[in-house]
Structure 1
Amino acid sequence: MADERAESGGMRIGDPRVMRALAHPARIEIVEHLNDTGAAVTATEAAALVGLSPSATSYHLRELAKYGLVEQAPSRGDGRERVWQSTSSGLRIDADLDEPATRAATQTLIDLYLHRDQERLRAWIQRQPDEGPDWRDAGTIMGQRLLITADELKEINAKVRELVEPYRMRERQESAPAGARRVSVSYAAYPED
């Protein structure tokens, strides 16, 4: 039920049923972890990531599988435990916003992502004094106001995507240089009223 693959092996999501299935903090964390790492995990391993019981996590994994966001991975051995893997390396919301049900599902899912990203940013700000000077100086919050056309904004978006692509965790985790850490990059560019 998840839609066609997007650029960089990602998946486009436009179906409101898929968005509603994903719109749960634990499900987003599971899908994000699997997409970022390419790992295959059991419900017990996923439960440790999201702080839920293995049975609750198993339910979430089955729901995600119903909508094509994860799938069963090959067995690791005895075949008794179910192993799950991602079906893509990323997600892109690509919804028909003229459809009320799709608009509502999109808003709910985006609100969840924004809340999660704000919490991550707040956590960084709180622990920033405890970080080493290199990481304190490297982290940033930046805001710019531009005067541009829609085509220029599309060009900027493409350049930002191209700039960060070589550093994606999934592709780089085996070859990252010493001292590399997972870093969240949240980027939003939108016209003001």
Structure 2
Amino acid sequence: MTRDIESLSDPKAMRALAHPARLTILNQLGVVGSATATEVAEIAGITPSAASYHLRMLAKYGFVEDAPPRGDGRERVWRSVAKSLSIASRPGDQQDVREAKDLLIRAFRRDANEAVERALAVGDREPDEWKDATLLSRILLRLDAAEMKRLGEEIDKLLQPYVARHRSPEDAPEGARVAEAQVSLFLSAQRPTPGLPTEDHDAS
């Protein structure tokens, strides 16, 4: 399996991608492979004309491209460009690049948190085998920068064979569904110390 990793550095492209509807559209294309503006509009909760605009903006910055036409070819079909995107702060980043990266990372996190909330809302309705396979974990690590970088690379390598964009339904086992892995490796920042309250309102 081959894949491309593109490290985002263009502030205009990052700001364009940070729009919630565009993130939804890009995620959907990563699952279904290709779709029309009308099809992604329903998922994103926007009008087909708005979806067409967002798709053109995504295409402008190289995130999506035209897919082979269907049927009579009257409706434009889009697909995601097969790249895994990464965002990382670099020592030489200019201020506009740092600000754009921060904006996009926060947009990614909001979108990811919403995905978890949706999953939790319907989790009780899932079959027991899927409940048993679900893992929501938070672990504090002690490691140096080289170890953390290597750990991230190892996790990425483990996930690659299962990435929906590269693994078609025909290649996956029977009963396979789309799942989501959210990986965040970052330095733990010290929690602010609020100090002792002036009154203990919980005291009986």
- Higher mean C-alpha displacement, 146-155 vs 39-48: 39-48
Which residue is 2:160 aligned to? 165
Which residue is 1:177 aligned to? 173
Q: Going by fraction, where is helix more abundant, 1 or 2?
A: 1
1:43 aligned residue (34, 37, 41): 37
Deviation at 1:184, TM superposition (A): 0.8
Q: Aligned AA for 1:113? A: F
CA contact (8 A) 1:14 1:95 kept: no
Tell me, yes or no, if structure 1 residue 29 matches structure 2 residue 24.
yes
1:131 aligned residue (116, 126, 135): 126
Structure index of larger Rg? 2
Q: Between Structure 1 and Structure 2, how many residues are aligned?
A: 186
Which residue is 2:145 aligned to? 150
Deviation at 1:127, TM superposition (A): 2.0
- Structure 2 unaligned segments of length 5 or more: list them: 190-204
Q: CA offsets, 1:64-94, max 9 Å, x none? A: 1111111223333434322222222432224
CA contact (8 A) 2:31 2:178 kept: no
- Higher mean C-alpha displacement, 178-187 vs 86-95: 86-95
CA contact (8 A) 1:96 1:102 kept: no
Deviation at 1:40, TM superposition (A): 2.5
Q: TM-score, normalised by structure 2?
A: 0.82
Query: In structure 2, what is the Cα distance between the partners aligned to 1:52 and 1:79?
Result: 23
Q: Aligned AA for 2:174? A: A
CA RMSD of aligned residues (A): 1.9
CA contact (8 A) 2:3 2:82 kept: no
Query: In structure 2, what is the Cα distance between the partners aligned to 1:143 and 1:65?
Result: 36
SS at match of 1:122: helix
2:55 aligned residue (52, 55, 61): 61
Matched-pair identity in %: 39
SS at match of 1:71: strand
Q: Aligned AA for 1:144? A: I
Query: In structure 1, what is the Cα distance between the partners aligned to 2:7 and 2:49?
Result: 29
CA contact (8 A) 1:70 1:84 kept: yes
Query: In structure 2, what is the Cα distance between the partners aligned to 1:176 and 1:156?
Result: 26
